[in-house]
Amino acid sequence: MSLRSNVFYKSLTNLTVGIAVSSALFLTACNDGGSQLDKEVAAPVDLSVFEGCYTVSSEEPAQIRVSQQDGAWVMQMKEPANAKRVWDDAEPLELIENSEIPKFFSIDPDNVDAVLGRPDRVLVLAHVKPVYANIDPLLDSEYLSYIYRGANTIYRVECDEVNTDILANPHANIIIDNVNESS
């Protein structure tokens, strides 16, 4: 081999090694940056979207109140008209992971901002992203509720301090049977 071709091959080898090392460093940097980006994107869930009062019909008085007390999220139900108070004792609520959404709602978890529920999961509330709520014809509210095996939209309404006699409602005499049990 001539000196000229020997220098050429050494330069080519150095260039190839340089490209390989640069590519490896670049790919490593991309992977690390992606992991860092994922950590930054996973912002804490804003549960303040739930603060307020709710009812099953937008034209009825509030029946459930969600608030923050002593740094924890709680819910309260309206007391009957003959009670000496308007709201019952506060029950704790907790953040529910989006991966659990299919247990309660038939909605893609990517379309939900936050989920909050009682520890026993008898009541679960979900806030649907406003953009999705506007385009889904089955939703007429940004809020979903799951109450003992049934899911429906609920409405955020003004909180009030007026008792509601839920038992005086003729629709309250509905008997809920376990749909999984055969007759």
Q: Give the mean model confidence (pLDDT) for residues 44-69.
A: 90
Q: Give the mean model confidence (pLDDT) for residues 74-83.
A: 88
Q: Model pTM?
A: 0.65
165-178 per-position pLDDT tens digit: 655 654 554 444 44
Better pLDDT: 183 or 146: 146
The 3-state secondary structure of the chain, one letter per residue: CCHHHHHHHHHHHHHHHHHHHHHHHHHHHHHHHHHHHHHHHCCCCCHHHHCEEEECCCCCCCCEEEEEECCEEEEEEECCCCCCCCECCCEECEECCHHHHHHCCCCCHHHEEEEEECCCCCEEEEEECHHHHHHCCCCCCCEEEEECCEEEEEEEECCCCCCCCHHHCHHHHCCCCCCCCCC
Report pLDDT for 115.
96
Better pLDDT: 179 or 83: 83
Better pLDDT: 45 or 9: 45
